[in-house]
Amino acid sequence: MDATGACIIVGGGLAGLSTALALAPMPAIVLSKAPLGLEASSVLAQGGVAASLGPDDDVALHLADTLKAGDGLCDAAVAHSILSAAPAAIEELIRYGAPFDRDAEGRLVLGLEAAHSRRRIVHAGGDGSGREIMRALVERVRNTPTITVIEGISAHRLIVEDNAVTGVVAEAETGPVLFASNHIVIATGGVGGLYQYGTNPAGSFGQGLALAARAGAVMADLEFVQFHPTALDSDSFPLKLISETVRGEGAILIDETGRRFMAGKPGAELAPRDIVARAVFAQLAAGHRVFLDAREAVGAGFAQRFPAITSFCQAAGVDPATQPIPIRPAAHYHMGGVNVDLMGRTSVEGLWACGEAACTGLHGANRLASNSLLEAVVCGGFVAESVASTSPVRRRKVHCDLQPIVPDDPAPVRQIMTRAVGVLRDGEGLREAVGTLFALARDHRAASDAAIVGLMIAVAALRRNESRGAHARTDFPCPAATPQRSTLQLEEAMRAAEALVPELVD
């Protein structure tokens, strides 16, 4: 399919749809694995969108909180640009039809979440922010004539010529399809599907990162995977998230004896996510069970304030108004991703990335709660601006061999990543993971894309001989004196793996 003049957007979540809408009237083609609004991580988001809208708040305070949570690795200039655009992003979402919660006087209700110094979380439907925002954007996208949505299709390979993209090969129900275009945006979400315990859809295992990595794009800060401290402890996959906002309303963390183990620690239950996740993990490792107790703080009002959480807790046999909620940490958000500048440009000409698949430098080593939906909307607009200002390049006709595509299967990778590249890491476990993932990445079978992403994360984690933010090494428990961001390409990661496990090299 010749899509020259159109922008191909790989991914149908908040970042992808925001980009498509901001591009109009430039033609855009959105490739989505599932029907819009059903499987994107954005739909599962509960907390909301962070924006400095309160009378006691401003961009400087929001920036200070973001930099503190990022533990020395945020790009301050990028962060300032994105956070400054937050109020306008909220207004844009309202124009799209997002039904944000308001008080009796019609003012936006602002919630409090961990590591925020002010109430600045704009939410919708109580704890259904992602669902309500996506519902509004999906309707707007479907009613925008310049946007073509193709559902039930998965991108598998970028066609690259002289370090410039010329197209993308995708798998549709009818077989492989080539879309010829030199304007391609990756907006595929995160990597939670690489872990046994995650809050992302099972199919979110970094496909966009694999696409970009195979095309030669530079990755950044891959080792930083955020584990949300409070996912409902159950046998389901993905695990259901218990929003940070519940702790913002006063809920506490206790063990099976009722002991509040975060009491007396800086920030207590509202400390940055990496700190709380490690504290919960330590309790579980010591043989305790961990619960989120909202009985006193929220009590009978829980169902009204958190209807979605109430529903899935009750389905698991727990009434949050009268019982503590069993929880555990779960892979939730990837601070790393495809290395991009503020406008979403990657190291490959004609390739952009935004949302969780991208690494702008906003989040640093640990994301501040509710900055992710904000980044998706704002950076979707930045990417659209950059794409629209870049003229299509006429290249010779694109040809490629459209062989049948092996379906992706991340299952073989999950146990490895959970055991060795999880909440706590060490050199021995990471080296073992690199060897195992290297073997899977080389065989070009169903697990190879997931293994490539896992391998690059493991190599980046092995190279970072310190503990910082969401990256915790038990053999290097202290931070290095000078914060340093990391970059990595696939070829470099494969060479590093070969050096560690030479017996696997032919």
Q: Cα(146)–Cα(141) distance, rounded to whole angstroms?
A: 9
Q: Cα(172)–Cα(150) distance, rounded to whole angstroms?
A: 9
Q: Cα(184)–Cα(168) distance, rounded to whole angstroms?
A: 8
Strand arrangement, sheet containing 154-161:
154-161, 164-172, 175-180
Q: Is 260 a catalytic residue?
A: no
Q: Cα(96)–Cα(424) distance, rounded to whole angstroms?
A: 41
Q: Cα(391)–Cα(401) distance, rounded to whole angstroms?
A: 27
Q: Cα(372)–Cα(49) distance, rounded to whole angstroms?
A: 8
Q: Cα(157)–Cα(9) distance, rounded to whole angstroms?
A: 14
Q: Cα(274)–Cα(267) distance, rounded to whole angstroms?
A: 12
**Active-site residue, selected from the candidate residues 273, 278, 442, 468:** 273
Burial 46-60 (b: 16+ CB within 10 A, else e): bbbbbbbbeeebebe
How many C-beta atoms surround the C-beta of residue 444 within 10 A?
A: 10
Write phi, then psi, for 20 (nearest 5 degrees): -60, -45
Write phi, then psi, for 191 (nearest 5 degrees): -125, 15
- Parallel, antiparallel or unpaired: strands 147-151 and 28-32: parallel
Active site residues per annotation: 273
